[in-house]
A and B are shown apart, each in its own frame.
Chain A
C-alpha cells in the first residue's frame, strides 16, 4: 500500500487542459453601455463552456479587463494577456484595433473584435470580423432605401455619422456603391456634435429634399435627432413618406436602448444587424434568455443585442478551439488561425445567435455575411423581410 501511495504521488498529474484567451473592452467610459452587456455575454458563455464540458475536460480561461475605451490601456491589457499565454484575443473598439493591428500581425494572434469596421481587417490579416461590416450594413440600408423608395426620382439621403474613424468607416464604400449604380443621391454627410437641439439640421436637410437619414453612430445622438424630428412633425409615419424623414441605422445605433431612450420617437426607426433579437421569439432567443437567467442577469442585459454580440464572439472562439482539438492539433495561435481560415463551405459555423452562418477563408475576414432589417413597431424591434446580403458590396 505504501508503495502504491508513493507511486500515486510520483505519477505525473494529468491536469485538465486550460486555454488562455483574453478580452479587453470598455466596461467603463465611452461606449460602456455597449461594452458592459458585451462583457457579460462573453463571461456567461465561457462559464457555460467550462460548466457543461463543451470542450470535454478542457477549460477556457478568459480574463476580462476594462480598458475604459483607451487604446493605451488596451495595448497594456493585450501585452499582459500575451504574457499569460493567450492564444486568441477578443478586442473591442475601432480605434484600438487600428492602433494594435501591427501588433496582432507581429505576434500572429487571431483577434475577434467588437468593431465591425472593414478597415481593421484590411489593417491586419489576423483580425476576424464577427459579422457584416459597417460598410455592408450601411450599403445594405442604402439598398433597402433604393428598392423601397416612395415617390419619384432618385431618393435623397443624408449620412449622419459619429465624428471618428468608427463613424466614417462605411462612407467610402457607400460612395463607391452609389458610383457603381446604387440609385441614391447623397445630399450631405453630417458629422454630429453633442447637440441638444437638431432643429437647424433637420430643417436644412428637409429643405434640400432629403427623405432618408442613414445613421452610423451610437444611440445618444440618434435619440436627440429623432426626438427633435418628432417634435417638428418631420418623422415619416410610414417608410419613405414624402416630405418627411425616415431614419435608418447600423448596428450600434439601435437595440432596446434606443427605444428606452427615445420612447415613442423611435417608432418606425429602421435598423440592421446580423444578430437575432430576443423580441423575435424562437429557440435561439429562449436559449439566450435561459443563459442570462442561469447567471442572474437582469432583463435589460438579457435582451440586449450587445449581450448577444458578446455571446457570439465567445461562441466563435470556443468553436475554433473545439475544431482544432478535434483535428488533434495543439492549441496555439497558429493552429487557431488555420482553423478560422477553414471555417467555410461545409465547415461554416452556425452559432444561431446570428441570422446567417460564420464563414472565414484566407481572403474573407467577415464572419456572417447576411444582415437582418428590423423596424420599431409598438415599442419593439420587429424583423422586416428576410435576411439579405448587400448586392453592391461583396
Chain B
C-alpha cells in the first residue's frame, strides 16, 4: 500500500510543479489572450538568476530566490513593453509569432552567458535527509516546492478574485473595449500580466533547478512539457492549471508505476497524459475549467 501512496505523493509533487510552471501561460492568456511560447526560457532565466545571485554574488539563497522573482517580474514587463505593446489589436497569430521570435532571442542571449552550455547546481541549503512516513518519502526540496506553489497559486487566485487590479485584469480578458470604456488601462493590464507570469516562472525555475540541476536544455523544455497541463486545465483558468497539473502528475506516476515495464509496455508515462488530454478535449474542447465563449453573430 505504501507503494500506492508513494505514487500519490510523487504525483502531487510533480503535479504542483507543473501547475506552477503552467501558471505563467494562464496569467498571460487570461488577460491578453496571448500564448507565450517563450515561457520556458523565462523559467530558465529565473533559475539562472537565483544561481548567479547565490553563488557569484554571495547572497543567501532565500533572498536570491525572492530577488529573482522581482527581477523576472520587471524583465517580463519590459519584454511586453518593448516587443508586444505595439501589437495590441493586431491578429493573434502575429503576437504568437513574436513570442516565437522572442524565444529565439532569449535562447541566443542565454547562450551568450555560461549558463547556455555549462551545468551548475544550487548549493545544498535544505536537509538532505528526506521526510518519511509509513514508507512514503518526500524530499525537503520537493516539500518546499509544493509549499511555494501553494502559496503562489493561492495568492494569484485571491488577487484575481478580490483585488481591484485583478478584477480589472479579468474585465480586460472578457472585453477589452468595454474595459477601456470604464477607464481601465488595457496596456497596463497586459504589462502586469506578463510581469506576474515572469514572477511565477522564476519561482518554477528555482524549484525545478533545485531538483534537476541547472541545465538550460532541461529547464527550457518545461515550457513545452507543461503545455498539455495548460490545455487540459483550460487556458484561462488558474484552478484549471492546478487540477490539470495534479492530474498529469498522478497519471505519469501511476503509468510509470503500474503500466511501464509490464505487458511489454514502456514509455506510457510520457504518452498517456497526451492520450487522456485528447480524450478529455473531445468532450470538453475548452479544457476542464476553460471559459466556453459563445459568440453570437
Decide: B17 and A231 in contact? CB cutoff 8 A. no
Query: Among residues 205 to 247 in chain A, which have CB atoms less than 8 Å away from a CB atom of chain B?
Result: 205, 207-208, 219-220, 223-224, 227, 230-233
Quote the shortest CB–CB distance from A187 to chain B (angstroms).
8
Quote the shortest CB–CB distance from A199 to chain B (angstroms).
4
Decide: B213 and A260 in contact? CB cutoff 8 A. yes
Q: Is the C-beta of B121 less than 8 angstroms from some C-beta in chain A?
A: yes
Answer whether A190 and B260 are a contact pair too, CB < 8 Å, given A163-B267, A196-B212, A200-B7.
yes
Decide: A197 and B266 in contact? CB cutoff 8 A. no
Answer whether A260 and B256 are a contact pair too, CB < 8 Å, given A188-B261, A194-B225, A220-B212.
no
**Which of B117, B208, B225 touches A33 (beta carbons < 8 Å)?**
B117
Q: Is the C-beta of A263 less than 8 angstroms from some C-beta in chain B?
A: yes
Decide: B211 and A260 in contact? CB cutoff 8 A. no
Q: Is the C-beta of A203 less than 8 angstroms from some C-beta in chain B?
A: yes
Q: Is the C-beta of B215 less than 8 angstroms from some C-beta in chain A?
A: yes
Q: Is the C-beta of A189 less than 8 angstroms from some C-beta in chain B?
A: yes
Q: Is the C-beta of B282 less than 8 angstroms from some C-beta in chain A?
A: no
Query: Beta-carbon contacts of B133-144 to A below 8 Å, as 1s and 0s?
Result: 000011100100
- Alpha-carbon distance A198/B13, docked complex (angstroms): 12
Answer whether A32 and B116 are a contact pair too, CB < 8 Å, given A199-B253, A263-B121.
yes
**Which of A190, A207, A257, A264 touches B266 (beta carbons < 8 Å)?**
A190
* A203: chain B residues within 8 A (beta carbon): 3, 6-7, 257
Answer whether A193 and B120 are a contact pair too, CB < 8 Å, given A200-B254, A262-B213.
no
| Stretch in contact with the other chain, from A22-30, A100-108, A310-318 | A22-30
Decide: A200 and B269 in contact? CB cutoff 8 A. yes
**Which of A191, A196, A208, A261 touches B208 (beta carbons < 8 Å)?**
A196
Q: Is the C-beta of A326 less than 8 angstroms from some C-beta in chain B?
A: no
* B214: chain A residues within 8 A (beta carbon): 261
Answer whether A263 and B124 are a contact pair too, CB < 8 Å, given A29-B217, A220-B215.
yes
* A29: chain B residues within 8 A (beta carbon): 217
Query: Beta-carbon contacts of A357-382 to B below 8 Å, as 1s and 0s?
Result: 00000000000000000000000000
Query: Among residues 255 to 297 in chain B, which have CB atoms less than 8 Å away from a CB atom of chain A?
Result: 256-257, 260-261, 266-267, 269-270
Decide: A194 and B218 in contact? CB cutoff 8 A. yes
**Which of B128, B213, B253 touches A264 (beta carbons < 8 Å)?**
B128
Q: Is the C-beta of B177 less than 8 angstroms from some C-beta in chain A?
A: no
Q: Is the C-beta of A300 less than 8 angstroms from some C-beta in chain B?
A: yes
Using CB atoms, name the residue of chain A closest to B132.
A233
Q: Is the interface of B mostly helix, strand, loop or mixed?
A: helix
Decide: A36 and B117 in contact? CB cutoff 8 A. yes
* Interface range, B side: 35 or more
Decide: B130 and A232 in contact? CB cutoff 8 A. yes
Q: Is the C-beta of A254 less than 8 angstroms from some C-beta in chain B?
A: no
Answer whether A196 and B267 are a contact pair too, CB < 8 Å, given A231-B130, A261-B121.
no
Decide: B117 and A35 in contact? CB cutoff 8 A. yes
- Alpha-carbon distance A188/B265, docked complex (angstroms): 10
Q: Is the C-beta of B119 less than 8 angstroms from some C-beta in chain A?
A: yes
Decide: B269 and A195 in contact? CB cutoff 8 A. yes
Decide: B6 and A227 in contact? CB cutoff 8 A. no
Query: Among residues 9 to 47 in chain A, which have CB atoms less than 8 Å away from a CB atom of chain B?
Result: 27-33, 35-36
- Alpha-carbon distance A232/B261, docked complex (angstroms): 20
Q: Is the C-beta of A393 less than 8 angstroms from some C-beta in chain B?
A: no
Query: Among residues 192 to 208 in chain B, which have CB atoms less than 8 Å away from a CB atom of chain A?
Result: 208
Decide: B266 and A191 in contact? CB cutoff 8 A. yes
- Alpha-carbon distance A207/B138, docked complex (angstroms): 19
**Which of A197, A227, A257 touches B253 (beta carbons < 8 Å)?**
A197
- Alpha-carbon distance A232/B130, docked complex (angstroms): 8
- Alpha-carbon distance A176/B52, docked complex (angstroms): 48
Quote the shortest CB–CB distance from A99 to chain B (angstroms).
21
Quote the shortest CB–CB distance from B203 to chain A (angstroms).
15
Q: Is the C-beta of B32 less than 8 angstroms from some C-beta in chain A?
A: no
- Alpha-carbon distance A223/B208, docked complex (angstroms): 13
Q: Is the C-beta of A204 less than 8 angstroms from some C-beta in chain B?
A: yes
Quote the shortest CB–CB distance from B54 to chain A (angstroms).
14
* Sample of 6 further A-B pairs with CB below 8 A, known A194-B222, A224-B212, A264-B128: A36-B117, A190-B260, A196-B212, A199-B137, A223-B213, A233-B130
Q: Which A residues fall within an 8 A CB radius of B?
A: 27-33, 35-36, 163, 188-191, 193-201, 203-205, 207-208, 219-220, 223-224, 227, 230-233, 257, 260-264, 300
Minimum-distance CB pairs A-B, first 4 = A261-B213, A200-B257, A200-B256, A36-B117
18 contacts between A and B (CB under 8 A): A32-B111, A32-B116, A33-B215, A36-B118, A194-B225, A195-B256, A195-B269, A196-B17, A199-B6, A200-B252, A200-B253, A200-B254, A200-B269, A204-B257, A204-B260, A233-B130, A260-B121, A261-B119
